[in-house]
Amino acid sequence: MNKQENINSIISYYINLIFRFLLKRIKTKEGSEDLYQEIIIKGYKALNNIDNIYSLESCIWKIVHNTIANYYRGKSREAIEINIDDIVDILLCSK
């Protein structure tokens, strides 16, 4: 079995585990699917550079962890749209 076949078998083993894990963490199917695709791409790239077979599982879960962290970091930086009239109403009602 060559290196590419090994990588394919490793990814196929973790594919369902990763997706179920993402569904629990992200809560939306669309968000989970987006991150899932990103993780698979990162996984293929990373596994091509790893020679030590014992570090594969930790590498995969580190990619999953970091991708989820980046997702939530990006979500926290998204702009929130606030209508100025709503702010005025809130301020007037609080007096």
Enter the tokens of residue 92: 């007037």
**How far apart (Å, rounded) are the C-alpha atoms in residues 87 and 54?**
56
- Is the whole-model pTM more than 0.85? no
Give residue-wise pLDDT tens across range 34-74: 999 999 888 888 877 776 656 777 888 899 999 999 998 88
Q: Which domain holds residue 9?
A: 3-93
| b/e 20-43 (16+ beta carbons within 10 angstroms → b) | ebbeeebeeeebbeebbeebbebb
Q: What is the pLDDT of residue 84?
A: 76
**For 4-67, where are the E strands, in sequence order?**
none
Host H or E run for residue 68: helix 56-76
Total of domains in the chain: 1
Q: What is the CATH number of the domain that holds 21?
A: 1.10.1740.10
Residue whose C-alpha is closest to residue 56's, from 43, 67, 70, 39 = 43
